[in-house]
A and B are shown apart, each in its own frame.
Chain A
Amino acid sequence: MKIREGYILRQLAEEYMVVAVGKAAKDFNGMIRLNETGAFIWKKLETGCTEEELVRNILERYDGIDVKSAQKDLRNFLDLVGFAIDKLE
């Protein structure tokens, strides 16, 4: 999976914001606000990775979270921002 071209993440104060630029702006005219964790996953997705890799990254970074919850939370997140992701597999 990888973030589609034209979706960019920037930090604004203590928050993160994604907007679509260029051609992507025709499909998506709003903005996505992300928290720290969302931005962490987003950055991994910018370079491209699989869902398994993401789960591993989340477990490494956040102490005390179990595999099941990590998978479930990640799935919810991916559903929400799915329109900005190219699924390569």
Chain B
Amino acid sequence: MFVVKIAGIPIGIHNRFSETEDFCREFIVDEKPAFTVAAGEEEMWFKVEPFGNPNGCKELICIHRHIIHKMLEYEAFLMHAAVISVDGEGLAFAAKSGTGKTTRVRLWTEAFGDRANVINGDKPILRFINGEFVAFGTPWKGKENLGSNGSVPLKAICFLERSEDVSIRRIYGKDIMERLFHQLLVPHKKENFDKFSVLINKLLEMTPCFLMKCNKDKENPIEIWEKLKGEIRA
């Protein structure tokens, strides 16, 4: 077993495959775990496609699922998004795969240089801690392997849509929900779903959401960020 610290929580991982430990290397700590997880034999055989022999890759998928479910007890959950930090303020780009989360990460980190860094390019964890939502990096960083073992207070969520013209506007209520649902892993245990609903309501109360129409050839991250900051502070 080894221990990783994710979203501030020390988690014990009982692994069978050495790839799992290598994969988590950056997050390993020497602490007593708050809880431990392990991938079940049956689970690896029958709950991860392609069905069949367990391997390191399947172990990582199962362990990730267990960690996410357990995280709800710590007011933390997974959002399918890319989170970057700009001047220490967290911005989440959320969209279906293939829309341009990674492109935004690239454009923004290029535009801001040292002022920006990637927290996680695919599956950050959001945790409500000391009265605010904080986005945390995890070892699961998506195909492009973008991310770090860092964290940033989340200041805004931008839902992305491809478009000819670039624009950004604040959205509310229904416009948020129909987009947000696709980015969350909804729990199917009653007590977890209850915790989850409370958290999502709190997230939406505290975090302004925007619809960002983007076009990589036309957009200027610095201009967009100035506009966003104005809205966030308003």
Contacts and interface: CB of A to CB of B under 8 A. Distances in A.
Interface in A7-42: 8, 10-15, 17, 19-22, 25, 29, 31, 33
Interface of A: 8, 10-15, 17, 19-22, 25, 29, 31, 33
Interface stretch (B128-136, B187-195, B218-226): B187-195
30 contacts: A8-B190, A8-B193, A10-B193, A10-B194, A11-B197, A11-B201, A12-B197, A12-B201, A13-B176, A13-B177, A13-B201, A13-B204, A14-B173, A14-B174, A14-B177, A15-B173, A15-B174, A17-B186, A19-B186, A20-B188, A21-B188, A21-B189, A21-B190, A21-B193, A22-B188, A22-B189, A25-B188, A31-B186, A33-B178, A33-B181
Contacts of B111: none
Contacts of B197: 10-12, 17
Contacts of B181: 17, 31, 33
Given A10-B194, A12-B204, A19-B188, 14 more contacts: A8-B193, A10-B193, A12-B177, A13-B173, A13-B177, A13-B201, A14-B174, A14-B177, A15-B173, A21-B188, A21-B193, A22-B188, A25-B188, A31-B186
A17 B172 CA distance: 17
Interface in B87-127: none
Nearest to B203: A13
B200 A12 contact: yes
A20 B193 CA distance: 10
Contacts of A22: 188-190
A25 B190 CA distance: 10
Nearest to A6: B190
Interface string B45-89: 000000000000000000000000000000000000000000000
Interface of B: 173-174, 176-178, 181, 186, 188-190, 193-194, 197, 200-201, 204
Contacts of A13: 173, 176-177, 200-201, 204
Contacts of A14: 173-174, 177
A63 to B, nearest CB: 23
B49 to A, nearest CB: 15
A14 B180 CA distance: 13
A14 B171 CA distance: 13
Nearest to B204: A13
Contact of A19 (B173, B178, B193): B193
Contacts of A20: 188
A12 B184 CA distance: 13
A20 to B, nearest CB: 6
Nearest to A26: B188
